[in-house]
């Protein structure tokens, strides 16, 4: 048929129409392009690409030992979501020694570690370590509140970089200065990290009160730069700072630290002391009751206000009183009384 075309005919026609734009060496004819020629293609300049490179290759391994409760598990998951440069691993067996964590970090290609250690299913300890050289710090974790709680009304972009705010006391004491540097290297998201976002919309605050470090996470609201708490929140009670990673010589030991076992023992002793005091008071009262009673002499003025009652004349009843019928039913008794009253009225009338 005359109307049919070959397969390549349409493509060839399009290819003829599409012409390349004149190069820099080719001159454009005066008076614009000729009649029937195709106008040159418009070139769009791409936006500038950031030349930043991911230089700070900090990676944090966050995992725990076996025996943690649900609250610790949620806290660990919250820290992983807030720190895009973190990695996870399976729970470590209790029988393994702590220095094995250095090998785990080396296999995971991590140079920092946050390890949660649970004891007696009620005490939680946190290790912050710079592997494999050190130093490392051991804390007792108290007052844990997670992201899922209703009190935390703030929100932030996933993977955004945080600001770190520290108490001025961190610059005064040498052991706090060491902890400050450790916190900066662990909790700050590296710049240009592949999983991070180039925004700063929340703040990590580290405050020292009552010889403890209080961790809070706040959202920065753009309108008035006010802060709303996001979570999680917890309190770190410093125990020791070691020179090596998960061990080694002790650089600092907290003199104000009291172990949970000692705290529970003191609570039991205080309760026992109160109980013992009550028992002693009861015994003293019993002894007082059993003691000999001292007879008090009669008071002569005691009978002053006693007045003798008037003597009533004795009445002797000569007629035997009528016996009352014993009726158990009250309705029958009332009927009998009414009949008697009617008889009396009739006799009087």
The 10s digit of each residue's pLDDT in 181-197 is 999 999 999 988 888 88
Write phi, then psi, for 180 (nearest 5 degrees).
-60, -45
Burial class (CB in 10 A: 0-12, 13-18, 19+), 105: buried
CATH architecture observed for domain 60-263? 3-Layer(aba) Sandwich (3.40)
- Picking from 50, 62, 37, the residue whose alpha carbon sits closest to that of residue 113 is 62
- Residues 172-189 as b/e (b if ≥16 CB within 10 A, e otherwise) read eeeebebbbebbebbbbb
Burial class (CB in 10 A: 0-12, 13-18, 19+), 20: exposed
Pairwise CA distance, residues 247 & 98, whole Å: 8
pLDDT at 337: 84
Percent of the chain scored above 70 by pLDDT?
Answer: 84
- Picking from 215, 69, 193, the residue whose alpha carbon sits closest to that of residue 139 is 215
pLDDT one-digit tens code per residue, 297-346: 888 888 888 888 888 888 888 888 877 766 567 777 788 888 888 888 77
Do residues 42 and 94 lie in contact, with contact meaning Cβ atoms separated by under 8 Å?
no
pLDDT at 10: 45
Angle at 109 between CA 159 and CA 188, to 5 degrees: 35
* Of the ranges 38-47, 171-180, 285-294, the best mean pLDDT one: 171-180
pLDDT at 48: 52
Confidence of residue 1 (pLDDT cuts 50, 70, 90): very low
Do residues 230 and 217 lie in contact, with contact meaning Cβ atoms separated by under 8 Å?
yes
- CB-based contacts of 203: which residues, under 8 Å, 6+ apart? 162, 163, 164, 165, 217, 218, 220, 227
CA R_g for the chain: 47
pLDDT one-digit tens code per residue, 8-50: 444 444 444 444 444 444 444 454 555 555 556 677 766 554 5
- Picking from 337, 123, 136, 93, the residue whose alpha carbon sits closest to that of residue 251 is 136
What mean pLDDT is predicted for residues 169-179?
95
pLDDT one-digit tens code per residue, 39-97: 566 777 665 545 578 888 899 999 999 999 999 999 999 999 999 999 999 999 988 88
């Amino acid at each position: 048929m005359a109307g049919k075309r070959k397969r390549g005919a349409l493509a060839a026609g399009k290819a003829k129409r599409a012409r390349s734009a004149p190069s820099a060496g080719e001159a454009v004819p005066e008076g614009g392009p000729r009649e029937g020629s195709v106008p040159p293609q418009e070139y769009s300049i791409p936006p500038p690409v950031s030349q930043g490179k991911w230089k700070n290759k900090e990676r944090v391994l966050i995992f725990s030992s076996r025996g943690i409760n649900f609250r610790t598990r949620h806290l660990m998951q919250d820290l992983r979501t807030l720190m895009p440069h973190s990695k996870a691993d399976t729970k470590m067996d209790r029988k393994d020694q702590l220095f094995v964590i250095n090998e785990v970090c080396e296999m995971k290609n991590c140079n920092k570690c946050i390890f949660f250690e649970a004891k007696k299913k009620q005490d939680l300890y946190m290790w912050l370590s710079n592997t494999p050289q050190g130093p490392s710090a051991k804390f007792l974790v108290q007052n844990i509140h997670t992201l899922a709680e209703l009190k935390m009304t703030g929100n932030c972009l996933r993977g955004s970089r945080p600001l770190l705010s520290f108490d001025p006391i961190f610059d005064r004491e040498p052991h706090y200065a060491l902890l400050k540097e450790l916190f900066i290297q662990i909790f700050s998201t590296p710049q240009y990290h592949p999983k991070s976002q180039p925004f700063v919309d929340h703040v990590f605050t580290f405050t020292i009160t009552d010889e403890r470090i209080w961790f809070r996470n706040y959202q920065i609201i753009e309108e008035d730069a006010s802060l709303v708490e996001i979570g999680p929140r917890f309190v770190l009670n410093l125990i020791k700072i070691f020179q090596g990673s998960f061990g080694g010589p002790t650089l600092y030991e907290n003199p104000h630290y009291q172990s949970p076992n000692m705290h529970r023992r003191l609570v039991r002793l205080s309760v026992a002391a109160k109980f013992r005091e009550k028992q002693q008071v009861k015994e003293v009262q019993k002894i007082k009751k059993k003691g000999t009673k001292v007879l008090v002499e009669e008071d002569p003025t005691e009978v002053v206000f006693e007045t003798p009652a008037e003597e009533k004349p004795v009445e002797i009843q000569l007629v035997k009183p009528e016996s009352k019928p014993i009726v158990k039913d009250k309705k029958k008794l009332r009927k009998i009384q009414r009949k008697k009253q009617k008889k009396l009225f009739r006799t009087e009338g």
